């Protein structure tokens, strides 16, 4: 999925972007309001994460009660977890990505984009699992052993 070079570039570029944005915003509004804004986005993100997490959990339970595979809801849960982690990371760039993961239409659009690009493979979504066999087929029947005539 990601090569070592891609991850290394990500771990170098994101902090540089964050520091640049913090300096720019701090230069415009001041240091104390910038720190307050970073803390405020973390608290707001935690509250939104809690609300969206419970809503997604409710949709997972409803899908399972209908006998459906809750694959999309589980993917939403993964993005919520990712978004929450980004919101707790100080900075404006990670906060923007984190909020994208917390807003339901944007989150669902992001999942659809990942599926279209082939990054995620979701099969069987919405299918009832009752009466459908996805493993080896079982054929019922009877058998009996005949005596071996070589004895």
**What percent of the chain lies above the pLDDT cut of 70?**
84
pLDDT at residue 126 in the model: 44
What gap in Å lies between CA 20 and CA 30, rounded to an integer?
14
Tokens found for residue 10: 């990500």
Long-range Cβ pairs for the range 37-46 (8 Å, 24+): 38/90, 38/91, 38/92, 38/95, 41/87, 41/92, 41/95, 41/99, 42/87, 42/88, 42/90, 42/95, 44/87, 45/83, 45/84, 45/87, 45/88, 45/95, 45/98, 45/99, 45/102, 46/84, 46/87, 46/88
* Cβ–Cβ under 8 Å, residues 73 and 122: no
Q: List the domain boundaries for the chain.
A: 4-117
pLDDT per residue as tens digits for the range 9-37 = 888 999 999 999 999 999 999 999 999 99
What gap in Å lies between CA 39 and CA 135, rounded to an integer?
50
pLDDT per residue as tens digits for the range 95-109 = 999 999 988 899 999
pLDDT at residue 133 in the model: 47
User: Does the global pTM surpass 0.75?
Assistant: no
More confident residue, 128 or 117: 117
């Amino acid at each position: 999925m990601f090569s070592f070079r891609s991850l290394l570039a990500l771990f170098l570029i994101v902090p540089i972007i964050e520091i640049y944005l913090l300096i720019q915003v701090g230069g415009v509004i001041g240091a104390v309001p910038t720190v307050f804004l970073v803390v405020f986005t973390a608290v707001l993100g935690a509250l939104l994460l809690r609300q969206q997490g419970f809503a997604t959990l409710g949709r997972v339970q409803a899908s399972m009660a209908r006998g459906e595979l809750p694959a999309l809801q589980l993917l939403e849960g993964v993005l919520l977890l990712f978004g929450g982690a980004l919101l707790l990371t100080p900075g404006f760039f990670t906060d923007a990505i984190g909020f994208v993961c917390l807003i339901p239409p944007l989150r669902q659009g992001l999942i659809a984009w990942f599926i279209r690009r082939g990054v995620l493979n979701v099969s069987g979504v919405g299918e009832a699992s009752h009466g459908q066999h996805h493993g080896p087929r079982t054929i019922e029947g009877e058998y009996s052993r005949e005596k071996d005539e070589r004895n």
